[in-house]
Structure 1
């Protein structure tokens, strides 16, 4: 067991087409049980999504020294990308639902974001929402409706930017020596649990936590608990 002190605050980023409201619903409660605060920056607009978030993390690190970073889906990718580039400024990683590693290729989440971007461009946000939420669970329809409408005119470009950006390669994750908690939903075809398992295997000080989309629909914090508890296991066994 390490005697390292827990960080005081985590900075967590949302996934593609999502927003900080969802991240807070997932993570605020589980982090609070450990006495950790939470910062959830709103998505930068349009094609500035990735670069804007990386700049926000740079600015926060300049202010706080080191950061516990993470996110959901594309937000997890960006947090891991920043951590790989800034190992001396990263105190840990919480990555829920990573969707691919390296180039996105035909990854389901990338394909879905590209199709959604094309649909928004062609038909507008409201028509795209109607098509994208048809047949999905009500909780997911509610989340998408709020987040997509909040993105405004930048939605299509934001979706496209996320769909096309590479995630860290597994070899790059292997070089990241901080404690990492990886969260997966075992029944999620868009964020295959095998990707999360690959991330957990590649990171040298990582643990994996699992839940299901069914549980997430009933309790947003189920994914946060799985990820935070995985990070805590990694943290308590980590020897710098």
Structure 2
């Protein structure tokens, strides 16, 4: 049996819309769910060593992290629309139903997972208590260039194979804040990857008018100098969400504080008691 810190991890599975989704369940207390970024998985993120979940579990939370459709241990079909943020939000809401969540839950998501969480929260705000939005992705005005690149990548994979795409990808510079983090191959299978990329190309964060209606306390954790996760998205979210704190990491040491920051955010009492509070930490 795996463990996170002193907390044993149990594996669970549930079927939803032509896929079997696999999740890790650890700890006891109020439920918090986490959705990872695109192309990786829970196991890969753990091997990358970026995010520390021990403070969340030690803070008295039950933490469920799942492999998104088509990623890691979860299955998926080569259907473009299965991988839009809106469709992935369906999976997250399905997971909450499978887990029997009757009270609002804390929801956390990184990059693609951030889009998943925001779409789910806009659609069903009463299902959520607090939000943690890690490395928000390109959105709105910056999304078009990302979408074009994703469609081109899907074409390359279908025309030349995944190895050719990976070779080109390795030549691209990485953000300095994570330059020393080990790189791993994508977890989606080659038959699914083009559809995943096209699904993400079809995606965007919800309209700002919808985001402004989310009165749940939100912690936004961003890092600097990453065109795929520009600070403009994080800053726009911080200004649009009624109750948001923004923290910007510029070094790996800054990122290592995120586990404690998340645990502190989830432990705060009286959600929504500090309207308009925002904090930008460099």
Same structural fold, with TM-score higher than 0.5 when normalized by the shorter chain:
yes
* Superposed displacement of residue 22, structure 1: 4.4
Equivalenced residue count is 227
Q: How does 1:56-205 map onto structure 2 within 5 Å?
A: 56-62=91-97, 63-65=100-102, 66-102=104-140, 105-108=143-146, 110-134=147-171, 136=173, 142-143=183-184, 145=185, 148-205=186-243
Q: In structure 2, what is the Cα distance between the partners aligned to 1:34 and 1:167? A: 30
Deviation larger for 132-141 or 92-101: 132-141
Secondary structure of the 1:184 match is strand
**Alignment partners' CA distance in 2, 1:232 and 1:17:** 27
Normalised TM-score (structure 2): 0.68
Which one scores higher on RCO, CA 8 angstroms, separation ≥ 6? 1
* Aligned partners of 1:117 and 1:160 also within 8 Å: yes
Q: Aligned partners of 2:258, 2:155: CA distance in 1, in Å?
A: 29
Secondary structure of the residue aligned to 1:40 is strand
Q: Bigger radius of gyration, 1 or 2?
A: 2
| CA-to-aligned-CA distance 1:117-162 (integer Å, 9 cap, x gap) | 232222211221122123556755623x1xx144341011111101
More helix by share: 1
- Aligned residue number for residue 239 of structure 1: 273
Structure 1 unmatched ranges of 5 or more: 1-6
Give the direction of change, closer, same or farther, for the CA distance of 1:119–1:60 in structure 2 (3 Å limit). same
Distance in structure 2 (CA, Å) of the matches to 1:161 and 1:236: 38
| Residues 107/90 of structure 1: CA separation in 2 closer, same or farther (3 Å cut) | farther
Separation of aligned partners in 2, 1:105 and 1:160 = 13
What TM-score, normalized by structure 1, do the two folds share? Answer: 0.79
Report the structure, 1 or 2, having the larger strand content: 2
Superposed counterparts of 1:224-235, under 5 Å? 224-225=259-260, 228=262, 231-232=265-266
Change (3 A) 1:224 1:237: same
Query: Among 13, 28, 31, which residue is 1:9 paired with?
Result: 31
Could you tell me which runs of 5 or more consecutive residues in structure 2 were left unpaired when the two chains were aligned. 1-28, 71-77, 275-282
Question: 1: distance between equivalents of 2:239 and 2:52?
Answer: 23
**2-structure distance, mates of 1:112, 1:22:** 24
The answer as to 2:53 corresponding to 1:28 is yes
